[in-house]
Amino acid sequence: MVSKVFKKARRDFMFRYGRRLRQLDHWVTARAAMLIISLLRLLPADRALNFADRAARRIGPRVGRHRVAINNLRLAYPDKSDVEIEAIASDMWGNMARLAAEYIFLDALFDYDPNATTPGRVEVGGADHFKHIATEQKPHILFTGHLGNFELLPVAAATFGMQITALFRPPNNPYLADYIHSTRRSSMGALLPSSTGASFALASILENGGNIGVLVDQKFSSGLETTFFGRPCQSNPVLGMLARHYDCDVYPARCVRLPGNRFRLEIEDKLTLPRNESGSVDVPATTQLLADVVERWVREDPGQWMWFHKRWEISGRRRRRRGQSKDAAGQRQRQS
């Protein structure tokens, strides 16, 4: 009895200790990040972004996620040399560092003016689509991937008078999440954290004739099996399900990073969604179509995508393998 009480007390202590240790780690990480942000604020935007790019290209290859990126690139591009693979990974780290630093200068960077006679940092392709969606009295879905500075897309939508709610995944670090959320909210309109119940919130927005923006290039555990660069992966079917239920138009949109700290925002023609024999939107085929669009974008400029994401990890298969291993171990024990 005493032993059980001692073990329970020990477990409770380790749980509380582990939770506080994680909290301390998050706090230290956030303080370091905010210090870097404060230093970058002292520089002009171009110098700060270029510095972040150079630093990340040196630091990125030293972190664990670099190995994930290299492995993913080799799977996606089996014909590329090691030098080419490393070059793409280096571009990726530079892009991700620029994205982080651009939060600081977001308002200054977005200078698009539809009536301007001289080009600024931001150019827009498909402006007529933005205008059409803003005036059309029906729900719409816009989707994108983690390419370039994708955060500029909802800013552009607001410029054209489009009301849009963007679904986003907050960082695991709660201190950084608060900072990023406050930064996004000040310039990007409505935001919806990706969490339990988010799909119901998105449905409610569409039900009321609103517009939503969704990132579709991340792994989704227990999602539909699709292919990306010819390899199986899991994708979130919610966009196809919403499009089927509300019969709304779906538009691809992306950000392309240009030389000189410039950007091109593109909204393409609305997709013709695949339908089944009954005429309803085919959810699995639509989910694959979205993956194909993102793959096309990534192939055009692979250095602007986040290759360190475990896109091809199949959660269900991993669980099955673990279960099979346990069954095999049990059989060996019984046989012995």
Same domain, residue pair 292 and 194:
yes
pLDDT at 172: 67
pLDDT at 319: 44
pLDDT at 126: 92
Give the range of the structural domain holding residue 120, as residue numbers without chain letter.
116-314
pLDDT at 24: 77
149 within a domain of the structure (yes/no): yes
104 within a domain of the structure (yes/no): no
213 within a domain of the structure (yes/no): yes
10 within a domain of the structure (yes/no): yes
Same domain, residue pair 28 and 151:
no
pLDDT at 213: 92
- The span from the CA of 259 to the CA of 137, in Å, is 37
168 within a domain of the structure (yes/no): yes
83 within a domain of the structure (yes/no): no
The answer to whether the beta carbons of residues 218 and 309 sit under 8 Å apart is yes
The answer to whether the beta carbons of residues 293 and 240 sit under 8 Å apart is no
pLDDT at 336: 40
pLDDT at 40: 81
109 within a domain of the structure (yes/no): no
The answer to whether the beta carbons of residues 112 and 122 sit under 8 Å apart is yes
Same domain, residue pair 33 and 130:
no
Longest Cα–Cα distance in the chain: 82
85 within a domain of the structure (yes/no): no
- The span from the CA of 296 to the CA of 273, in Å, is 17
Averages of pLDDT over runs of 10 residues in the chain (336 residues) are 58 61 74 76 91 95 95 96 98 94 85 84 93 93 94 89 78 67 58 69 90 91 92 94 94 96 96 95 97 98 95 68 45 43
Q: Encoding tokens for residue 160?
A: 């054209």
The number of distinct structural domains making up the chain is: 2
pLDDT at 158: 87
Contacts of residue 276, Cβ cutoff 8 Å, sequence gap at least 6: 282
- The span from the CA of 52 to the CA of 327, in Å, is 50
Q: Encoding tokens for residue 286?
A: 């639509």
- What are the φ and ψ backbone dihedral angles of 68, each rounded to 5 degrees? -60, -45
